[in-house]
Amino acid sequence: MAMLTAVIERPPQAPPAHAAASVDAAADERALVTAAARGEMAAFEALYRRHAGRIHGVIARLVGSHGARAEDLTQEAFVRAWQALPAFRFEAAFSTWLHRLAVNTALMELRSRGSRPQDHGDADALDTIGSADSAGQATALSLDLERAVATLPPRARAVLVLYDIEGWKHEEIATELGMAVGSSKAQLHRARGLLRARLGEP
């Protein structure tokens, strides 16, 4: 506990050299992970504060821009991390392990939605982009990539995020989403085409 307290409450010091800072950050993270794996909630809360933004971001990209559900899944991912931490052996960086766990949490959500007819409603969201908002401004004028991705149909969005952002191979995507490799490639082509159209690219 004393080591964890020292890590969290260490007073500010002059910025070290870049390499030393990287080593210190890795050591701090390892200490927090080790303490959290022993059941120390304060250490886990520190890890949550460090990583929650990135984890929420990848989950939101995968499941869409439904804020409340993305928040719920972020919490679920961290609950799963807390439960699995005692078995964590530093075979990969904690951030990598946590990120993969978050992706898997989002994919479980997408698979559970698979038979729900309301999922097709995401495609309708494409038709609302470009309509005037309450201030009379064309939404399309300020549309950025994140918002455009959020409007894609669920499976096309998942394939795009996993392939173009997460760097997965089509074989991995096909296995996780329960589709053929050819379908994964077709969904990626579809997603990219929809994005180009919505972003006004030729």
Mean pLDDT of the chain: 77
How many separate domains does the chain show? 2
**Domain of residue 103, CATH code:** 1.10.1740.10
pTM score of the predicted model:
0.68
Same structural domain, 31 and 73: yes
pLDDT of residue 22: 66
Length of the chain measured in residues? 202
Higher pLDDT, 118 or 104: 104
Higher pLDDT, 106 or 150: 106
% of the chain with per-residue pLDDT over 90: 46
Same structural domain, 81 and 128: no
Non-local (6+) Cβ contacts of 55 within 8 A are 74, 77, 78, 98, 99, 102
Among the residue ranges 1-5, 61-65, 146-150, 156-160, the one predicted with the least confidence is 1-5
Same structural domain, 106 and 136: no
Q: Which domain holds residue 92?
A: 21-114
Same structural domain, 84 and 158: no
Instruction: Identify the domain boundary among 85, 114, 143.
Output: 114
Instruction: Identify the domain boundary among 114, 139, 154.
Output: 114
Q: What is the average per-residue pLDDT within 151-174?
A: 90
Q: What is the average per-residue pLDDT within 177-196?
A: 92
Q: What is the average per-residue pLDDT within 89-117?
A: 83
Same structural domain, 102 and 29: yes
Instruction: Identify the domain boundary among 80, 114, 148.
Output: 114
Residue 133 has pLDDT above 60, yes or no: no
Neighbours of 31 (CB within 10 A): 17
Tokens of 176: 């996780």
Indicate whether 63 belongs to any domain: yes
Non-local (6+) Cβ contacts of 48 within 8 A are 78
pLDDT of residue 136: 35
pLDDT of residue 166: 87
Same structural domain, 109 and 30: yes
Indicate whether 78 belongs to any domain: yes
What are the C-alpha distances in Å from 76 to residues 39, 79, 98, 103, 162? 18, 5, 12, 12, 20
Indicate whether 105 belongs to any domain: yes
pLDDT of residue 81: 96
Same structural domain, 69 and 101: yes
pLDDT of residue 202: 64
Chain segment 28-79, per-residue pLDDT in tens: 999 999 999 999 999 999 999 999 999 998 998 898 765 688 899 999 999 9
Do residues 62 and 110 make contact, with C-beta atoms less than 8 angstroms apart?
yes
